[in-house]
Structure 1
């Protein structure tokens, strides 16, 4: 697997991976969510555009991650490549560009992501109520002090 920086040519595949993955992080919530495609989600698209975005590929783009300053803002893996170490590889890259302490927000119901973060030394900092287009989602901020 190779990690590289996002190029403008990557946006269509980023939109595709997001569309195929976004609702998976909310699948254990008690209510149903409707996907707002990334290209129509002004807040989340702006957050990605101002971040450093990295692509994981092996012949095809398998996933992407984004970091802004010391905040991990995105970590998405195409469903076909889950369980292959893509998330771990991207998380390692994002940690390598962070400084001192990095943080991320995660839905409390997203046990798969939480397990990855805990395995990598992240700790729960605080709980809060986020929202996905007006629907409340219980979430947590997790942090990790870097060496």
Structure 2
């Protein structure tokens, strides 16, 4: 597994990964109708305002990505066909290493797998919050804000 910087040639795979994983995420949250594709949301949600890393398997296929900056991990998606193979952990580890000393992430309330991953990596829940879904404000959601403090 190689973690590297995003390149323009990765765009098609990012769309495929996000769109399949996001559908599962929103189904699990009980709001499948809130789904919007990456193509529909990346500009409004500022995807390219963040540092963007991709995970590439040994064949050169991009199988996941993370977008972050010093204080926030904003996007972390892995192709559902590659779940439970340590890819999210590797992407998260790399982003934690490159980010600042105090990092936040927001997670939908029912995204148990993601919450467990973040807790395993040292994040703690600091707030439960209900409000409009970022990127699709016609839906109200409940989620958690988790934080990570480097030692």
Q: Same fold judged by TM-score > 0.5?
A: yes
TM-score, scaled relative to structure 2:
0.90
Task: Please state how far the C-alpha of 1:102 moved relative to its aligned partner.
Answer: 0.7
Distance 1:34 1:144 in 2: 28
TM-score, scaled relative to structure 1:
0.92
Task: Please state how far the C-alpha of 1:63 moved relative to its aligned partner.
Answer: 0.3
Distance 1:21 1:31 in 2: 14
Distance 1:31 1:81 in 2: 23
**Structure 1 segment 1-147 matched on structure 2, within 5 A:** 1-41=1-41, 42-44=43-45, 46=46, 48-58=47-57, 59=59, 60-130=61-131, 131=133, 133=136, 134-147=138-151
Helix, strand or coil for the counterpart of 1:113? helix
Task: Please state how far the C-alpha of 1:24 moved relative to its aligned partner.
Answer: 1.6
**1:23 and 1:33 in contact (8 A); partners too:** no
Instruction: Provide, for residues 81-111 of structure 1, a one-character-per-residue CA deviation record: whole Å limited to 9, x for no partner.
Output: 0010001100101101111111100001000
Helix, strand or coil for the counterpart of 1:99? coil
Structure 1, unaligned stretches of length 5 or more?
Answer: none
Instruction: Provide, for residues 34-79 of structure 1, a one-character-per-residue CA deviation record: whole Å limited to 9, x for no partner.
Output: 42111111322x2x11000100011211100010221000110001
Distance 1:6 1:70 in 2: 20
Structure 2, unaligned stretches of length 5 or more?
Answer: none
Deviates more, 1:97-106 or 1:35-44: 35-44
Matched residue count = 145
Helix, strand or coil for the counterpart of 1:43? coil
